[in-house]
Amino acid sequence: MFTGLARDLTEKKSVEKELEKTRLARDEMFQRYHLILEAAGEGIYGLDANGYTTFINPAAERMLGYSRAEMIGKPQHELIHHSQPNGQPYPVENCPIQASIRNGKVYHKNNEVFWRKDGTSMPVEYFCTPITVGEDVVGAVVTFKDITSQKQAEKELIQAKEDAVKANNAKSQFLSQMSHELRTPLNAILGFSQLINTNQEEPLTSNQEQGIHEILKAGKHLLELINEILDMARIEAGNLSLSIEDINLSDLIEELVALTLPMVKGKKIDLYNYVSMKGDLYVQADRVRLKQILLNLISNAIKYNTDGGSVWLDASENDEGMVEIQVKDSGMGIAEENIDGLFQPFNRLGTEGMGIEGTGIGLTISKQLAECMEGTIRVKSDEGKGSIFSVFIPQGEPDMASEGFFLEPV
């Protein structure tokens, strides 16, 4: 009998010990959760099944301006979530927090406001997570943060973008107007210079011919710069019109080879045209603008090449419905850290003192034109060995080559 009683007492003490251990573990867990709630930077509060506040942490008190005593046991929606950002009433049946209690779903919102005790509102981002016991929803926990600074930053960013667009439009309008104003007298200078140069009745002396030649050379360079600035202004203002058609690339490349022949001979460049060997290869583009792009790239490949160097022209179709047109040279190449600056306007990457003519915006315009025709330009370069400029343009169809369509300004 005594043995059985002793065993019962031992078992009772063991159970009590386990219960005490469980109680201590529970208290420790509650204490840990309490410390987390107290230290959290985000506002946190709990709701019961009726939407009444059951707890609130210090961060929520601080942001809302209510004390715990003023929040506990009060209907959360009517107290801090009663109105929408525009001040209109927020029906409780439309509130995601109350919906979470009804349907047991988690809700995340970042476009609503909570109302402070002083009557002011603050934009918040919040998560509402239901509390379940078995299959029953017995409440919810809401975590939120004040996103006033984020909303202000977004507002300032939108304003800055609008200001930048206005400034860019004003700049483009100014450039366009100035370009037209400059072209008128420049065309007169070029026209009269050409008349003087071709006047057979009053032949020029050698010095006069040299002077006229320099006037024409400088005038054409200035006209090229004005035309490029005008193109850039049109593109930036969205006033560039394109006439898209299917173009025989071999024919276009042969035209460009003929155009650049004087430059090739002047620098004793070996120009290899592999495009003509590919047969009929068609692209869909604006003929004038594609010619402008490729002429710029081929001219650069010649200008920035060494005397006696080489330029290779090639093209191929890829699996993405594009034609890759390659302009490869054996020139000076471009340092890897400078490639990103290639397409920035007026950035000649330090070649200004090399005596090579250029405006510094040809590549910028070429890339913009390619993108306007749903293509792009990519560059690979090895400093001291040469560069490869690849123009990607949509493939065309031979039976459509005689047809075309007008593309509205982009």
For the domain covering 40-146, report its CATH number.
3.30.450.20
Own/partner contacts of 134-138, CB < 8 Å, gap of 24 or more, are 137/49, 137/100, 137/101, 137/102, 137/103, 137/104, 138/48, 138/49
Digit-by-digit pLDDT tens for the chain (410 residues) are: 555 555 666 676 767 677 666 666 555 555 565 555 665 779 999 999 999 999 999 999 999 999 999 999 999 999 999 998 888 999 999 999 999 999 999 999 998 999 999 999 999 999 999 999 988 999 999 999 999 999 999 999 999 999 988 887 787 777 767 767 777 787 788 887 887 877 767 777 888 888 887 888 778 777 777 777 778 777 877 778 889 999 999 999 999 999 888 888 888 999 999 998 877 889 999 999 999 999 999 999 998 898 889 999 999 999 889 999 999 999 888 888 888 888 887 666 555 555 556 567 888 899 999 999 999 999 999 888 899 999 999 998 876 544 554 444 33
Amino acid at 145: K
Q: Taking a C-beta distance cutoff of 8 angstroms, is the pair 70, 52 a contact?
A: no
Give the position of tokens 């109302």: 115
Q: In the prediction, which pLDDT does 401 show?
A: 47
Q: In the prediction, which pLDDT does 5 show?
A: 56
Question: CA distances (Å), 399 to each of 24, 245, 275, 276, in order?
Answer: 85, 11, 20, 19
Amino acid at 142: V
Domain positions in the chain are: 40-146, 152-237, 242-407
Any idea which architecture 242-407 has in CATH?
A: 2-Layer Sandwich (3.30)
Q: In the prediction, which pLDDT does 343 show?
A: 82
Q: In the prediction, which pLDDT does 409 show?
A: 38
Q: What is the chain's alpha carbon radius of gyration, rounded to the nearest angstrom?
A: 37
Q: In the prediction, which pLDDT does 402 show?
A: 47
pTM confidence score: 0.55
Q: In the prediction, which pLDDT does 60 show?
A: 95
Any idea which architecture 152-237 has in CATH?
A: Orthogonal Bundle (1.10)
59 CB-near residues (< 8 Å, 6+ apart): 40, 41, 42, 43, 44
Coil, strand, or helix at residue 346? coil
Q: In the prediction, which pLDDT does 395 show?
A: 93
94 CB-near residues (< 8 Å, 6+ apart): none
